[in-house]
């Protein structure tokens, strides 16, 4: 799919940070990276900031989805942070080394938990209607 089509399909916004996205600042991001297989369908492609694409390039889909969940669909934009290539690689390593690598086993105190009971996604109290409620 063409980049301008993806941008239009997303309403003119970056898939990850939800900021306005111009074609000159954008690139096609594969949710399932090409390094994991040849998934070229339109459901595997989104438009995002070129810098964000360089941070997420070969990360597994699980990490990308959890990034969106943890930032409520508005992850920080690398453009705003004026990141250098060294800082981009540091962020990639931070994501890879984070608790995203742990499987999710359930809910505790309004958040998702891992096997060792680390809460990895806390739901803010002001969004109480989204918190897991025990019956």
Question: What pLDDT digit, counting tens, does each position of 60-97 carry?
Answer: 888 887 777 776 656 667 666 655 556 666 766 676 66
Rounded to two decimals, the pTM is: 0.56
* Strand, coil or helix: 59: coil
Given pLDDT bands bounded at 50, 70 and 90, which one contains residue 10?
very high
Angle CA 52–57–58, to nearest 5: 150
Domains and CATH numbers, the chain: 3-100 (1.10.30), 102-135 (no CATH)
Comparing C-alpha atoms, which of 65, 95, 66 is closest to residue 78?
95
Given pLDDT bands bounded at 50, 70 and 90, which one contains residue 16?
confident
φ and ψ at residue 73, rounded to 5 degrees: 80, 10
Given this model, what pLDDT does residue 83 score?
Answer: 56
């Amino acid at each position: 799919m063409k980049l301008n089509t993806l941008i239009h399909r997303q309403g003119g916004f970056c898939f990850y940070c939800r900021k306005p996205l111009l074609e000159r600042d954008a690139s096609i991001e594969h949710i399932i990276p090409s390094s994991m297989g040849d998934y070229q369908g339109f459901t595997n492609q989104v438009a995002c900031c070129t810098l964000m694409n360089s941070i997420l390039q070969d990360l597994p889909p699980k990490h990308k989805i959890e990034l969106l969940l943890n930032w409520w669909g508005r992850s920080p934009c690398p453009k705003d942070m004026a990141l250098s290539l060294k800082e981009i690689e540091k962020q990639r390593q931070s994501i890879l080394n984070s608790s995203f690598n742990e499987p999710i086993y359930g809910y505790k105190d309004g958040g998702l938990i891992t096997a060792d009971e680390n809460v990895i996604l806390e739901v803010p109290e002001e969004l109480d209607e989204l918190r897991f409620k025990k019956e």
